[in-house]
Amino acid sequence: MIILDTNVLSELVKREPAESVVRWLDSMPAREICTTSITAAELWFGVRRLPSGRRKVLLAAGIDDMLYRDLQGRIEPFDTVAAGHYADIVCDAMRSGRTVSAADAEIAAICIARRAELATRNVKDFADTGVEIINPWDFQAD
């Protein structure tokens, strides 16, 4: 299982997404790809804070298609198992003098709970969480 972080899904709704990200996603079996309820919340927040207009309408439609059509049934929730991993991630960060955002810790916790890899461009933000990271922006087709 590969969980797509917010920045990957945000890239895919751009008018001209990075070619490496599109090629990487096309090379993956669709059944292996999912995202999290946290990412869904971040995407909706990003759209809803935009001023009214064409861009907001188009982005909302793109996110709607992604979440309710492309990823239907493949949005992993933050549950009690993930909650335990979240506590470990945040406590470890605090002990090490690092900070981790609540959303990043929740996404990492879901990945750990599901034994999933995380596709993200924010490699540094997840570096010490124990999650295996894939950076689709680095993808090069064989």
Q: Give tens-digit pLDDT for 3-19.
A: 999 999 999 988 899 99
pLDDT tens, position by position, 78-132: 999 999 999 999 999 999 999 999 999 999 999 999 999 999 999 999 988 999 9
Q: Which two tokens stand for residue 1?
A: 């299982």
Q: Give the mean pLDDT of 24-47.
A: 96
Asked whether residue 142 carries a pLDDT value surpassing 70, the answer given is no
pLDDT of residue 127: 87
Domains and their CATH numbers in the chain: 2-138 (3.40.50.1010)
| pTM of the entire predicted model | 0.92
pLDDT tens, position by position, 39-51: 999 999 999 999 9
User: In whole angstroms, what is the distance from residue 10 CA to residue 104 CA?
Assistant: 15
Is 104 annotated among the ligand-binding residues? yes
Is 5 annotated among the ligand-binding residues? yes
Q: Which is it for strands 117-119 and 133-134: parallel, antiparallel or unpaired?
A: parallel
Q: Where are the beta strands (DSSP E) in 30-121?
A: 33-36, 75-76, 117-119
